[in-house]
Chains A and B, each alone.
Chain A
Amino acid sequence: MKRLGKVNGKLEIAFEPHEVEFLLGLADRIPAALEAAANPRLFPKHAEDQALDQELRAWLHPELKLHRQERAQAFQRELHAAFKEHGVARLDDDALDRWISVLNDLRLIFAGDLGIDGDDWSTRLTKEQRASPPVRIYFYLTGLQAALLQEGFGLAQPES
């Protein structure tokens, strides 16, 4: 991704065509992942109290699922349209919010597949694991999300 900076309050970014295709393909994974209602990362519990959690889950799960589906579809439309016509995406704050959130959904999906279970997960990776496609994709999505947060909203990773 090439960052072009903020112009008139919108973040301008440019991707290579293969990167656009790659991101569009990744976003295709979201609808299927959303079918797993029991996925604790995509659909966390609402309360420690089981009865309250079940009540809220029954009421809110369809809305959350639909919101995520529509967000992913909007991301794909915007990404496709931007690079088809201009080669550059110009994102206002709402669009940035959407892109950052879709990237986060993808990170949650890959994290589930990779079994990420702790803050020190990456330190326990072998050289071979680090080179595997799912891990590289996860790190790519992380870097891209971090870049959008920094370039779009001035948020740099703080010291822990």
Chain B
Amino acid sequence: MTTKTKQKAESATDLAQAPLWDVIVWNDPINLMTFVIFVFQRIFGYPTPLARKLMLEVHHQGRATVATEPREKAEHHVHQLHGYGLQATLCKHD
């Protein structure tokens, strides 16, 4: 294996082993259900049935984990969710 190939493999392994973070969306009495579905579709590209399922989980359970991903991506998605006016936080995945 060449040095370059070895470095690439090590980097991919690091990424795969990087700690994951949960993106959590919290229920609130203001955002419309349809708006929440719309936001999930726009940010995550989720199909409508999945976006609706997550929205209903937020609505009925008070919160839902909408993504589990590396920290940088989770921070970016929380920032985007805030841009749409949703209550969202990130925390280390258990």
- B16 at interface (Cβ–Cβ under 8 A)? no
Contact A41 B30 (CB under 8 A): yes
- A133 at interface (Cβ–Cβ under 8 A)? no
Contact B35 A46 (CB under 8 A): no
Complex CA–CA separation, A157 to B38 (angstroms) = 11
Select which of B38, B88, B89 is within 8 A of A155 by beta carbon: B38
Complex CA–CA separation, A64 to B83 (angstroms) = 6
The residue on B at minimum CB distance from A155 is B34
Contact B30 A46 (CB under 8 A): no
The residue on B at minimum CB distance from A103 is B35
Contact A149 B32 (CB under 8 A): yes
Contact A111 B30 (CB under 8 A): yes
- B75 at interface (Cβ–Cβ under 8 A)? yes
The residue on A at minimum CB distance from B21 is A47
Complex CA–CA separation, A64 to B79 (angstroms) = 8
Chain A residue numbers with a CB within 8 Å of B56 are 158, 160
- A107 at interface (Cβ–Cβ under 8 A)? yes
Complex CA–CA separation, A63 to B88 (angstroms) = 17
The residue on A at minimum CB distance from B52 is A158
Contact A56 B75 (CB under 8 A): yes
- CB within 8 Å of B: which of A40-70? 41-49, 52-53, 56, 60, 63-64, 67-68
List residues of chain B with CB under 8 Å of any chain A CB: 28-35, 37-38, 41-42, 52, 55-56, 59, 75, 78-79, 82-91
Task: Give the 8 A-B residue pairs with the shortest CB-CB distance, closest first.
Answer: A155-B34, A149-B34, A111-B30, A104-B85, A44-B87, A119-B29, A47-B89, A108-B85
List residues of chain A with CB under 8 Å of any chain B CB: 41-49, 52-53, 56, 60, 63-64, 67-68, 97, 100-101, 104-105, 107-108, 111, 116-119, 121, 142, 145-146, 149-150, 153, 155-158, 160
Q: List 30 A-B contacts (CB under 8 A).
A: A41-B28, A43-B82, A44-B82, A44-B86, A46-B75, A46-B79, A47-B90, A56-B75, A60-B82, A63-B79, A64-B82, A67-B83, A101-B83, A101-B84, A101-B85, A105-B85, A111-B29, A117-B29, A118-B29, A119-B29, A121-B29, A145-B35, A149-B35, A150-B34, A153-B38, A155-B34, A155-B37, A157-B33, A158-B34, A158-B37
